[in-house]
Amino acid sequence: MNTESVVEFLGNVPLLQKLPSSSLKKIAQVVVLKRYGKGDYVVREGQAWDGCYFIFAGEAQVTGPAEEENRSEFLLKQYDYFGHGISGHVHSADIVAMSELTCLVLPRGSCHLLETNSIWQSDKAVDQCSLVERILHLDPLELNIFRGVTLPDAPIFGKVFGGQFMGQALAAASKTVDFLKIVHSLHSYFLLVGDIDIPIIYQVHRIRDGNNFATRRVDAIQKGNIIFMLLASFQKEQQGFDHQESTMPSVPDPDTLLSLEELRDRRITDPQLPRSYRNKVATANFIPWPIEIRFCDPSNSTNQTKSPPRLRYWFRAKGKLSDDQALHRCVVAFASDLIFASISLNPHRRKGLRSAALSLDHSMWFHRPLRADDWLLFVIVSPTAYMTRGFVTGQMFNRKGELVVSLTQEALLREARPPKPSLTSKL
């Protein structure tokens, strides 16, 4: 049995799907192949624990302790496992092969590979990872259930940031599929505002598992309510047709452009901007984002200056990310919502305008492999806005000009109403 087939098999074992892909590759190198004939004992009750068994082919029957009056029996099939989490270091039941049986056994001395601090990296603690990787870290609670939190230094806008929902929900979905299958599309709906002070529970529904495709639905839950929903499709890499009609626009190299921090410092001292605006920028509570952004067309416009409904900027994650392609796509999903739907407001901005924007839905198609810690160009256009809904489309290119992601989003756009004056009695 070659390593590639072992890795592919291990990727379908539910217990292992929550692990970093690097851990699965290490496990594939140390598992031992064992075969049993029909009727053979795989392990006996009271036998010393020697590792974790994964059923590669065939079926086995588990029989409960002999002293129990009603001994429970059930079948184990392909991708099932036993021997993980045993207390007392002995097996508590007989396991008998019901057919020709093949198992992959992770030796006891290597079972530490089943426990990692991070769902993304096997050799690094969560607090040593980049900020965006920490934001996208989830705690696996049970099979298909994960917990995420809003970190104090994560982007917030008075509520849970929409990109956090997408990135964390996609991370949860990714940790329930074979790591050889990578997300190629997602569709999400924002249902209720998220509370930044309490954890978010992500429940994954395994809609379909095929040879080349898998489908997952994720519900984000707070206080018993579904507040966000994501549907994602995953595909195993295959050879096929390749063409690209979209052309990356000619824009300045990101290394020649100002960062958001530099742009902020310049705006504070720019005499062409209103003093009231400069004072507002200077006194605003500025928390750097975990995503570095550089606008291609820096201008003196403010959030109260009318401008065309389009924007182009380079972005990348701050810090080095692991090589897990699933993580990179989660980071791009996170970053895609930072400056997107608000472009629909550009033609309607004016002095004194107070507006409110709330994402309704967000869809993404991943066309090619990418790295979120290398520069990506985000080209955004809002073709229309009507009544209270604004619509935006986007394309992301890598530095070679390859189209890597296409996006759409619809958002609720409203002019904020001034608070009504309180009524006072005339008596």
| Sequence-separated (6 or more) residues with CB below 8 Å from residue 161 | 150, 154, 155, 337
Distances (CA, A) of 103 to 6, 35, 179, 291, 401: 11, 6, 21, 44, 47
Element (H, E) at 385: strand 376-386
Which of these is catalytic: 23, 168, 188, 409?
A: 409
Q: What does the alpha-carbon distance between residue 5 and residue 10 come to, in Å, rounded to a whole number?
A: 9
Q: Up-side HSE of residue 336: CA atoms within 13 Å toward CB? A: 32
Does residue 337 carry a catalytic annotation?
yes
Query: For the CA atoms of the chain, what is the radius of gyration?
Result: 26
Q: What does the alpha-carbon distance between residue 179 and residue 62 come to, in Å, rounded to a whole number?
A: 29
Which of these is catalytic: 178, 324, 337, 373?
A: 337
One-letter amino acid for residue 92 of the chain: S
Provide φ and ψ at 377, rounded to 5°. -95, 125
Structure tokens at 264: 């902020």
Which of these is catalytic: 359, 373, 382, 395?
A: 359
Nearest alpha-carbon partner for 326 in 188, 232, 394: 232
Q: What does the alpha-carbon distance between residue 111 and residue 115 come to, in Å, rounded to a whole number?
A: 8
User: The tokens 């990692």 sit on which residue?
Assistant: 116
Region at 71 (left for phi over 0; alpha for psi -120 to 50; beta for the rest): beta
Provide φ and ψ at 70, rounded to 5°. -110, 90
Q: Supply the residues annotated as catalytic.
A: 337, 359, 409
